[in-house]
Homo-oligomer: A and B are copies of this chain.
Amino acid sequence: MIPGDGIGQEVVAEGLKVLSAVLPQDVKLETKDYDFGAKRYHATGETLTDADLDALKKHDAILLGAIGDPSVPSGVLERGFLLKLRFAFDHHVNLRPSKLLPGVATPLAGEPQIDFVVVREGTEGPYTGNGGTIRKGTEHEVATEVSVNTAFGVERVVRDAFARAQARPRKKLALIHKNNVLTFAGHLWTNIFNKVAEEFPEVTTEYMHVDAATIYLVTQPERFDVIVTDNLFGDIITDLAAAVSGGIGVAASGNINPSGEFPSMFEPVHGSAPDIAGQGKADPTATVLSVALLLRHLGYEAEAARIDEAVSADLSERTGKPARSTSEIGDALAVRVAG
């Protein structure tokens, strides 16, 4: 457990509550808390050490709340903790499901049908930290960012996405990129996508530029089933996807290492929300849904499904009721999954 900063502490507590409630009696749950985040950074200057990674490596899975605080310069915890962990544990499949559940508010008009999953590449693209700055702070400063894309890295995530599409009733997969401008990376992605497609003749494929995809996400979200995309485009469209399918209060994600060589990490898409931290106002639903992804990843499909159902039921009964606190929502979900 990495509760982290801000509301991370509160939502992880509820995630654990629901996890404990859903597990069968004979499954012994062992957890350990890690203190990563702003507090430790201020105290020690450390974000994530080699010893930390060795310790984390021993767990079956990681549940993270949120990392980030305005007191830490932008980028320090993101690059020094979040991205470092994703890269160290080779979390190349970043799974982000979007499902608009009945009774949940959406900013879109009408009654859109939203049920898709984004498979975002997690270890390449513009996230590698390649790049640099010369003549910093002068009028001649030049700063570069290098997007790195490899056949190895693209093929494994594209293959994962095809397998997920194949396993879903609609069997549709969209590749999102910007191959008309980012032609080097774009051609690599497109060629591998088309090559792997031959192995999955039942999957219907389409290609879409990332700019056009943002239009479809608000005008025809029902069009999507599975999406595969690069690290940066995935970052952008999954926030938009979360916004249209009930908000980041209910958006879960998994940073997955499919081989199991390193533990996978599960976390809500939202951040640490320092403005509401410590007030019991945060909605723990996204964390609870992340626990479901964690259970599914470890093979506890029935338990994961029970959590999903509990969340659906809870959300569908919210309209018109007074707002509940973080722990009240957690309690309600724990009761539902246990019952």
- The interface of chain A, by Cβ under 8 A from chain B, is 68, 74-75, 78-79, 83, 106-110, 126-127, 129, 131-133, 135, 137-152, 155, 178-188, 190-191, 210-212, 214-215, 217-219, 232, 235-240, 242-244, 247-248
Contacts and interface: CB of A to CB of B under 8 A. Distances in A.
Nearest to A147: B145
A137 B195 CA distance: 11
Nearest to A244: B218
B215 A236 contact: no
B219 A182 contact: no
Given A78-B181, A142-B149, 15 more contacts: A75-B183, A79-B180, A126-B126, A131-B184, A131-B185, A141-B150, A144-B184, A145-B146, A145-B182, A145-B185, A181-B235, A214-B243, A215-B239, A215-B240, A218-B244
A151 B144 contact: no
A299 B295 CA distance: 63
B232 A212 contact: no
Contact of A144 (B83, B147, B179): B147
Contact of A109 (B106, B142, B237): B106
